[in-house]
Amino acid sequence: MTAISDAEKLRQLGEQATEARMNVEIETEGMTLNLGPQHPATHGTLRIIAKLDGEQVVVAEPVMGYMHRGYEKLAEVRTYPQVTTLVNRIDWVGSFANETPFILAAEKLMEIEAPPRAQYIRTVLHEMSRIANVMLGIGDMGVQIGAVTPIFFAFRDREYVLNQIEAVTGGRFHPNFDRIGGLKDDLPAGWIQNTQNAMDKVLEFCDQIETLMYGNEIFQARTRGIGIIPKDVGLSYGVSGVNIRGSGVDWDVRRDNMPQGLVYDQVDWKVWTHPDGDCYSRMWVRLQEVREGAKIVQQLLKQIPAGPVMAKVPRIIKVPAGEAFVETENPLGVMGYYIVSKGDLNPYRVKIRTASFSNISITPWLLKGVFVPDIIAILGSLYFILGDIDR
Amino acid sequence: MISLAFWIETTFRSVGGLAAVLLPAGPIVYIFLFKMMSFMQSRLGPTEAGPAGTLQLIAEVGKWIQKEDIFPEKADRLIFAAAPFVVLASSFLLVLVVPFGPDAWFVNLDTGIYFALAVSSVSVIGILMAGWASASKYSMLGGLRAAAQLIAYELPLVLAVMGVVIQAGTLNMQDIVLAQAEGEIFGWGGIGNPFIITQFLGFVIFMIAMQAELTQPPFDMPVAESELVTGYLTEYSGIRFLLFFIGEFATAGVFGMIASVLFLGGWWVPGLDPDSNLFNIIGPGVMFAKVMGVMFLVFWFRFTYPRFREDQLQKLAWKVLIPLALLNIVFTGILKVVF
């Protein structure tokens, strides 16, 4: 834990030094710029208070909680099957992925296992929500640094994925499809072939965006060497998912700590990392993530077994007393549910570990000394969803 | 040459000046900002208002006019109110020296291009006024960025024009057109000598600097909507925002005219006698076509590139464009003496 205290100490020293320099040498008063809660760059209600020296940030502090909806507390007065409706709204562009860890944790407590077909479909939908989410994140990065075109491409091609999610779950954004012990329904006819085609479109989008955005000199000039997260600092702040893989940490829950009930071990895929740790490397890993996701989906669709999609579960679900923690690799990073049950219809306590909350906690460290335009590039490359921060 | 009474001629020229600034702005916004942008982003753009959405712009203008004209509480009211007019005035001043035909000019100054480049900086004052008087931090940052940017890119703009001036041997815009019409490339005068061929480097520098002068992406830091909300425009609404908007695209059109006069032969088309009266009639049309061509380039870059950072922008101006422009002047000078 020395990493935290050292970094903290450095941070405070740096803070004092800059303040002193500002007040004594230049004899100017710093300007406090209030980015948000209503600001085009934060796509939601994140507020960042930045103390500026000219256009350089001296201190930046994120203020969260403008969208707090109290899901952890609300979950205590809902029955287990009702909770999925709530947690759908945490990361609203990759909704299905929010349900998975909760359901898996409940299944772990009840000691039941979903049938193989349900496990495969679950994994497919989990990956598809990742694709839909991350595609939007890539397009959004373009808007953050001033190119409007990529996000329209992202919106256009994300539609193929959302249509497929809607075809099987009935909801584009909030599927509410996962059940304890399996899934609500089986796949509709012809869905597998259509999804294969949709994945081809996604791969096409990846190639297109790579030449349009990643190959652009200005994009590289704006993102390379900006907002570098060193390995140890990132780990000590609890940064996870793509953001830590962009710093060269080869850690993916899907591969290293796969919870029971998902079938990532059945397919051939790769965890991409990038050694640089800057904005560009995070966005690059994100692009590879979409590609790998599409490949995982295509492989899984080929080997979905036949059988039921629902295990035998009691009509009224009572989860036996105990505690369980299950984490999965979600689009934004590692998401975990810690459930405490006293054997009732409701969970006694639910703690939700969301990825964006930890990812955003590094911003005061990361934004020190950068310029105002870089704040936006860094926030865009960290890619958070406000619902995932405030839940 | 036709001879008219002085007051008739003056009225014609004044009305023509108004029309030359305001008329291209509409088609530029509709064709490029609405339709071409939509095409590049694989969406439809406006379709409902009028045939293919052609009346959308009128609807937008109506919307802006009927909106409340809000003044921030702490704003410097007089300067806040005057700023959009200063910006718009600069594009009217700019168009004065642009010729549209052998007789279709507004003012035939001997120092035409010099005048144009001088008054193009007036808009900086308007933008600084807007940024300062809004009493908003975003506006302030935007205004300061705009001032830094416009002043930095004034220099490559002027230096790029120098090559043309050396080759044509005159500062008069009308004479620059005639120099291109009567010029020859290595003794062959088939298409005259549009300076885009001999001054290609100058044209490229001029286009980049023009993009920056117009604060279009990738040089739109002053209004960077994802960082500064909309920079110096943040506090404006209603008709004053509309004036800024018209100013932006009218200035784009006028800069397009200057670019086509300097590099594309202005109102002249190859194969016709530049002295013929015909050009007084078709000249404006030819100019419009050439302006649209230049605008296509401007908006193509606008929709493709992300935004530079402020320091990268300054680096591009001082370390790349200005040395290149100086080199261009040296080469043009040497060639002018040799041939």
Q: Which tens digit of pLDDT belongs to each residue from B48-90?
A: 887 888 888 888 889 888 988 888 888 888 888 888 888 888 8
Instruction: Please indicate, yes or no, whether residues A273 and A377 belong to a single structural domain of this protein.
Output: yes
Q: Which amino acid is at A171?
A: G
Q: What is the pLDDT of residue A356?
A: 87
Domain containing residue B278: 67-338
Q: How much is the pLDDT for B28?
A: 84
Are A170 and A218 in a shared domain?
yes
* CA-closest candidate to residue A131, choices A293, A246, A354, A301: A293
Which residues lie below 8 Å from residue A117, measured CB to CB, with a gap of 6+? A186, A304, A305, A306, A307, A308, A309
Residue B305 in domain = yes
Query: Could you tell me the end-to-end alpha-carbon distance of chain B, in angstroms, rounded to an integer?
Result: 34
Instruction: Choose the weakest-confidence range: B3-12, B26-35, B253-262.
Output: B3-12
Do A241 and A309 fall within a single domain? yes
Contact call for A218 and B311, based on CB within 8 A: no
Question: Is A93 found in the same domain as A57?
Answer: no
Compute CA distances A99 → A103, A122, A273, whole Å. 6, 10, 27
* Radius of gyration, alpha carbons of chain A: 22
The verdict on residue B320 lying in a domain is: yes
- Residue identified by tokens 């002043």 is B151
Q: Return the percentage of chain B with pLDDT > 70, whole number.
A: 97
pLDDT for the residue B90: 86
Q: Return the residue in A29, A46, A148 with the most chain B beta carbons within 10 A, the one to mutate for interface testing.
A: A148
Residues A141 and A287 in one domain: yes
Nearest CA distance, B37 vs chain A (angstrom): 8
- Provide the domain count of chain B: 1
Same domain, A92 and A12: no
- The answer to whether B227 contacts A33, with C-beta atoms less than 8 Å apart, is no
Are A149 and B218 in contact (CB < 8 Å)?
no
Residue where a domain stops, chosen among A15, A47, A63: A63
Q: What is the ipTM of this complex?
A: 0.77
pLDDT at A1: 42
Residues A191, A242 within the same domain: yes
Residue of A56, A140, A208, A222 for testing the chain B interface, max B β-carbons within 10 Å? A222
> Residue A83, SS3?
helix
Q: A222 and B307 in contact by Cβ < 8 A?
A: yes
What was the pLDDT predicted at A25?
53
Q: Do A143 and A91 fall into the same domain?
A: yes
Element (H, E) at A32: strand A31-35
Write the DSSP symbol of residue B228. S
Which of A41, A148, A221 lies closest to B303 in CB terms? A148
**Residue A31 and residue A118 in one domain:** no
pLDDT of A2 reads 47
CB A225 within 8 A of CB A278: yes
Whether A46 has its CB under 8 Å from any CB of chain B: the answer is: no
CB A337 within 8 A of CB A352: yes
Domain final residue, candidates A42, A63, A84: A63
With an 8 Å Cβ cutoff, is B217 touching chain A? yes
- At B13-46, the pLDDT tens digits run 778 778 877 788 888 888 888 888 888 888 888 8
Q: What is the pLDDT of residue A23?
A: 52
Say yes or no: A154 and A178 in one domain. yes
Domain membership of residue B59 (yes or no) is no
The pLDDT of residue B229 is above 80:
no
Q: Give the range of the structural domain holding residue A29, as residue numbers without chain letter.
A: 2-63
Residue A333, H or E segment: strand A333-341
Residue reference for tokens 């291109």 = B180
Q: Which residue has the tokens 């926030």?
A: A379
Structural domain includes residue B216: yes
Over the range B194-209, which residues count as b (16 or more CB within 10 Å of their CB) and which as e?
bbbebbebbbbbbbbb
Which amino acid does the sequence have at A308?
P
Give A221's contacts in chain B (Cβ within 8 Å).
308-309, 312
- The residues, ordered by sequence, that sit 6+ positions from A303 with a Cβ below 8 Å of its Cβ are A120, A266
Q: Which two tokens stand for residue A164?
A: 């497929």
Q: Are residues A227 and A148 in the same domain?
A: yes
- Domain presence at residue B211: yes
Query: In this structure, how many other beta carbons lie within 10 angstroms of the beta carbon of residue A316?
Result: 8
Contacts of A299 (CB under 8 A, 6+ apart): A266, A267, A268, A269
Domain C-terminal end among A63, A81, A102 = A63
Chain mean pLDDT for chain B: 84
- Cross-chain CB nearest to B42 (options A41, A153, A213): A153
| pLDDT at residue A24, as a whole number | 53
Question: A126, exposed or middle or buried, with CB in 10 Å at 0-12, 13-18, 19+?
Answer: buried
Place of tokens 């679950």: A122
Structural domain count, chain A: 2
Shortest Cα distance, chain A CAs vs residue B298, angstroms: 14
Q: Nearest-CA neighbor of A279 among A140, A148, A367, A379?
A: A379
**pLDDT value at position A34?**
75
Residues A107 and A52 in one domain: no
pLDDT value for B135: 83
Between B42, B305, B309, which is nearest A373 by CB?
B309
Tens of each residue's pLDDT in chain A, 391 residues: 445 567 676 777 677 666 655 555 545 566 777 777 777 666 667 788 888 877 788 888 888 888 888 888 888 888 888 888 888 888 888 888 888 888 888 888 888 888 888 989 989 999 999 999 999 889 888 888 888 888 888 888 888 999 999 998 888 888 888 888 888 888 888 888 999 999 998 999 999 888 888 888 888 888 888 888 888 888 888 888 888 888 888 888 888 888 888 888 888 888 889 888 888 999 999 999 899 999 999 999 989 888 888 888 888 888 888 888 998 888 888 888 999 988 888 889 889 888 888 888 888 888 888 888 888 888 888 888 888 888 7
Residue B301 located in a structural domain = yes
Cα–Cα distance for residue pair A136/B60, rounded to 1 Å: 29
CB contact under 8 A, A149 and B217: no
